[in-house]
Amino acid sequence: MKSLFTKSLISTLIAGLLVLTSASVAAIEEGDWLVRFGVANVSPNDGSTGVVPTDAIGVDGDTQIFANVTYMFKDNLGFEVLAATPFSHDITLSGSKIGETDQLPPTFSLQYHFAPKASARPYVGAGINYTTFFNEKATAVISSLSLDDSIGLALQAGVDVDINKDWFFNADIRYINIETTATTNLGNIEVDINPWVFSLGVGTYF
């Protein structure tokens, strides 16, 4: 899934840059609100330590719907709030499923927009992610499972490309630091999820 989604992200971004940059410019400025929505794929870079062999725990990826809102408090500077529908992940031990969980990863970022008046507007951002886990379920080997919530750094880079004066295409990539303690009947396991998050969508502004 990661490879397919990444290839789709790159090819769609290139197509958007080639075709859409001649469209009407939806320039952004201080005081604007940007609203984006689309699909996002969470691709964990997992690892673990604890009562199981090092890095034996794995967390699979998932794709869900996202939405974010950015307020531009300067022409080049914005504050973004990211939300999504719950992501669901299988948890594996040496490749075999032992549990599952849902999670929500609200993220708050300060963004710098390099070219707010252009038809293709790249940006970077940095901020804080809060991930809360729920609906944890042990399915094999272990009989109980609970995951601590996580607070960590989030980094992003993306681009908005005009479709017309009201709508734009968006492509975005993030790295999020997510680390949690899994409490099980066998003992505690420190799990690093640390995913790449790839998203494609559209947006408007007012």
CATH number reported for the structural domain that contains residue 136 in this entry? 2.40.160.20
pLDDT tens for each residue of 54-75? 999 999 999 999 999 999 999 9
Q: Which pTM value belongs to this model?
A: 0.84
- Count: domains in the chain: 1
- pLDDT of res. 22: 47
Which value, to the nearest 10 degrees, does the dihedral of the CA atoms of residues 46, 50, 51, 54 take? 50
Which value, to the nearest 10 degrees, does the dihedral of the CA atoms of residues 96, 53, 152, 145 take? 50
Mean pLDDT of 96-120: 96
- pLDDT of res. 200: 98
Provide the residue range defining the domain that includes 24: 2-205
- Name the strands in the sheet holding 187-192, side by side, starting at the edge strand that comes first in the sequence: 47-50, 187-192, 179-184, 145-147
